[in-house]
Amino acid sequence: MKLRRSYTLYEIAEWLNLNYSGDENIKITGISDVYHANYGDITFADNSKYYEIANNSNASVIIVQDNTIEPNGKGIIYCNDAFETYNKLASYFFPKSIIEEQISPNAQIGKTTQIYPNVYIGDDVLIGENCIIYPNVVIYGPCIIGNNVIINAGVVIGSEAFYFKKDESNYLRLNSVGSVVIESDVEIGAKTTIDKGLGGTTIIGNGTKIGNSVQIGFDTVIGKNCFIAPQTGIASNVIIEDEVVIWGQVGIQKNVIIGKEAIILGQSGVTKSVEGGKIYFGLPAVESREKMRELAYIKQIPELIKLLSEKL
């Protein structure tokens, strides 16, 4: 997420009262987790796995806990707890403001958009024309919503990413600094929740229709003209390509890709990436023809057991 102004490595380290290495004039223009860090971003790495990812990313500055790490072309800030230090920065740059009004004064809403009672719209929300937002919807910023979008009652958009670190006795939340983009001609069913990006953007593509009680995790990208039936749960960092159909009560694991025009039948569990243009079913989800054959064989087992017992 971009900052409202740029800072130097020196300014950030000075404010944190921490040691650093690298060019003190490196410009910091954003903050992000390691998976979505771009040029100008500051990120963090609290173990060797994440440091390798951060070091290979476009991040300009990395917060680390290992005092032996060399700059390697990036700025390094040294601390005792990189997770806590990153959270401190995220809270400073993006404080959670309390808004007295139900609709923030800095929200921008199209003149032809209809807003029903008891809708909350937070800071840094942009809503296009011809939208309908039904009662008890909550939209947290930053969020961009296109034209002709229908949001049914009880929907929550931009809730905090479900990302925690376990210490000795507690779960510690990583502050979300990402956003949500909902493109035009989208419909969202009642009581659906769309989490904001952890450091990137959760995106719902043009023309996509989402049923009631669907959970969409942080930094997930859903393509154009997808159809997602009720009670589906989609984890974080999922990519769903254009024109995918997902029937009811499907579960989708994090970090998978569902190819264009794939169909996922009801109550399936997608645990790995699947190709487009095919129909999938089961847990774990496989091509439906394969699963149907398997179920047909299973139905024959009682008869086979009976035949075997008669021969013994």
If pLDDT is split at 50, 70 and 90, which confidence band does 124 have?
very high
Q: How far apart are CA 309 and CA 289, in angstroms?
A: 31
If pLDDT is split at 50, 70 and 90, which confidence band does 186 have?
very high
**How large a percentage of the chain has pLDDT more than 70?**
100
In the predicted structure, residue 312 carries a pLDDT above the cut 80: no
Q: Is the C-alpha dihedral spanning 274, 181, 117, 115 positive or negative? A: negative
Which of 4-8, 94-98, 261-265 tops mean pLDDT?
A: 261-265
Residue 242 confidence (pLDDT): 98
Q: Which CATH class is domain 2-93?
A: alpha beta
Average pLDDT, the chain: 94
Task: Pick 312 or 264 by higher pLDDT.
Answer: 264
In the predicted structure, residue 121 carries a pLDDT above the cut 80: yes
Mean pLDDT of 89-111: 90
Residue 136 confidence (pLDDT): 98
Those residues with Cβ within 8 angstroms of residue 52's Cβ, 6 or more apart along the chain or in another chain: none
Mean pLDDT of 280-289: 91
Residue 95 confidence (pLDDT): 87
Residue 142 confidence (pLDDT): 95
Those residues with Cβ within 8 angstroms of residue 309's Cβ, 6 or more apart along the chain or in another chain: none
Residue 70 confidence (pLDDT): 83
Those residues with Cβ within 8 angstroms of residue 202's Cβ, 6 or more apart along the chain or in another chain: 178, 179, 180, 181, 194, 195, 196, 216, 217, 218, 219, 220, 221
pLDDT tens for 29-49 read 999 999 999 999 999 999 888
In the predicted structure, residue 310 carries a pLDDT above the cut 80: no
pLDDT tens for 209-230 read 999 999 999 999 999 999 999 9
CATH architecture of the domain with range 108-289: 3 Solenoid (2.160)
The domain locations on the chain are 2-93, 108-289
